[in-house]
Amino acid sequence: MLAGVPMYTLELTQSYCPGQADLDLAETTVGSVLREAAAKTPDAPALHEVDSDGQLARSWTYAELLADSERLAHALLTRYRPGERIAVWAPNVPEWVIAEFALGLAGLTLVTVNPGYQPRELKYVLEQSRAVGLLLIKEHRGNPMARIAAEVTADIPAIREVVDLDDHAALFREAGPLGPLPHVLPHDEVQIQYTSGTTGFPKGVVLHHLGITNNARHGFARMGMPAGSTTLVIMPLFHTGGCGMAILGGVQSGCRMLLMRQFDPQKSNALIESEGVIGMMGVPTMLIAMLEADAAQPRDFSSVKMAGSGGSMVPPELVRRVMERLGCKFYTVYGQTETSPLLTQTRPEDSFDDQCHTVGQVMPHTELSIRDPATNEVVPVGTVGEICARAYSLMLGYNDDPAATAKTIDAEGWLHTGDLGTMDSRGFVRITGRVKEMIIRGGENLFPAEIENVLLEHPDVAEVAVVGVPDAKFGEEVAAFVRLAEGASLDPGTLIAHCRANIAAQKTPRHWIAVSDWPLTGSGKIQKFALRDQWIATRG
């Protein structure tokens, strides 16, 4: 039976949980955790590629993974200087992982890019991050990434080179004599990940080595993952759940990581059966798809000891179904990119009710409080308020956006998540909603203002409000309420085509509603919650 670290014994009256020091806080970096794993178990299997057909392909031991990562780090330092930013635009391929460690070893900053991005999105991220290089693959799921990159980077003089990750001669090219790798410090920046924005585009979250390495290790310790376990990596690497928790947690536990190029539920189930997968994590939509695939073609899940989810609301019925069908323990995580990412997590030994209805207790060395959004005062236990955190794992800030950073992290160092929740006397947290209007569809953050700005470019659209509405499969779906231009009629097909030409497919609204007027606040702002309530009421 798996057992993680013990539950904290707390008797709280106010919704404030002080930091707990049950696990150590190590002065680690992305490079140092790989070096330590390679020194400890050099010949142990580390990374195994799963290709688009769901077949096992190339593999690396820990010694081999370190060797390739150090080789790439040395090569990159003949072309770049420590502190520069390099964007990686690819699905879950081994070269992504090698680049993550190489950039960390070289003192370079990894800028993660969603492989579904279209030209305007790629251009924004490259320019806002001040990236000087781009590592990519040519194509993914029909998205012509090499062609898009060529046209976008032609207008960005700061980009010195665009390199195909599959072209190892170019990737590992040495442009000069090799020198020593720099001394990288735990508080140095390591990644920029793009997340929630209200001005039309997401903000660049600057993370540091100390945060993402310790947070991932603590997560694996709490879930009770045995050292050397085989894990299935289906979370996208451009998320902290993929490159952070799954990869950095897996390395620090000496795991054999099966890296799926693209998620496929039936192929995932087959791998669990054939490879004896012990642990996995996916957003709720992934787990639902795997259960549906299993119903059509049952597999042997007896190897699985631990399954987890997060990234969006985890329905209690899903927890129940996963535990019953897989016969395993379950854990739920909660956090956000700005916190590296975990703030809370349940444990294998937590009660069934806590597994289903809470997101667990606070992570080690993290203070958590629930505060009145109006007064910023800590509220009594059981009272709904905004979830706030203060910890070693907080971001360094939003890239080149001190105003947004100051708005998110207050003068006392508390990060305001924008999420609403409660804390009980034991310190267990429940999520009740979001202060922000951000839509979480299948675990991915979508930003209404960005979608609205694209739709407003279409001549048929006079005004638009984009809202997240409940969806059984994805948790939330995108609904567009449109006030049409004079003489225009609502043609979803035309508007969908317009969206698909400008933004990633998952951002395209699924529901289209024509409106003649809006529910407004006293200051004339559209009441989006009222639109959402109306939508729910009409579909009773």
Domain boundary at 381, 396, 423, which?
423
CATH number of 154's domain: 3.40.50.12780
Residues 389 and 468 in one domain: no
Percent of the chain with pLDDT strictly greater than 70:
96
- Domain-located, residue 448: yes
Tell me the longest C-alpha to C-alpha distance in the chain.
70
pLDDT of residue 312: 63
Residues 470 and 415 in one domain: no
Residues 287 and 194 in one domain: yes
- What is the band of 523 on the pLDDT scale with cuts at 50, 70, 90? very low
| 335-345 average pLDDT score | 97
Residues 374 and 493 in one domain: no
| 96-116 average pLDDT score | 97
Domain boundary at 362, 397, 423, which?
423
Residues 348 and 220 in one domain: yes
Residue that the structure tokens 């979830």 belong to: 387
- Domain-located, residue 10: no
- Domain-located, residue 428: no
Residues 457 and 516 in one domain: yes
Percent of the chain with pLDDT strictly greater than 90:
81
- Domain-located, residue 429: no
- Domain-located, residue 269: yes
Please say if the pLDDT value at position 383 is more than 90.
yes
Cα separation, 516 vs 72, whole angstroms? 58
pLDDT of residue 408: 96
The domain of 27 spans: 16-423
Least confident of 28-42, 85-99, 220-234, 300-314: 300-314
Cα separation, 301 vs 284, whole angstroms? 18
Residues 59 and 202 in one domain: yes
Identify the CA nearest to 262 among candidates 109, 417, 90, 434: 90
- Domain-located, residue 239: yes
Please say if the pLDDT value at position 521 is more than 60.
no
Residues 418 and 471 in one domain: no
The two beta strands, 16-17 and 366-371, are antiparallel
Domain count, the chain: 2
Residues 248 and 112 in one domain: yes
Residues 292 and 177 in one domain: yes
- Domain-located, residue 6: no
CATH number of 454's domain: 3.30.300.30
pLDDT digits (tens, 9 = 90+) for 410-425: 999 999 998 888 999 9
Domain boundary at 366, 396, 423, which?
423
- Domain-located, residue 378: yes
Residues 444 and 419 in one domain: no
How would you write 47-101 as a 3-class SS string?
Answer: EEEECCCCCEEEEEEHHHHHHHHHHHHHHHCCCCCCCCEEEEECCCCHHHHHHHH
Residues 38 and 112 in one domain: yes
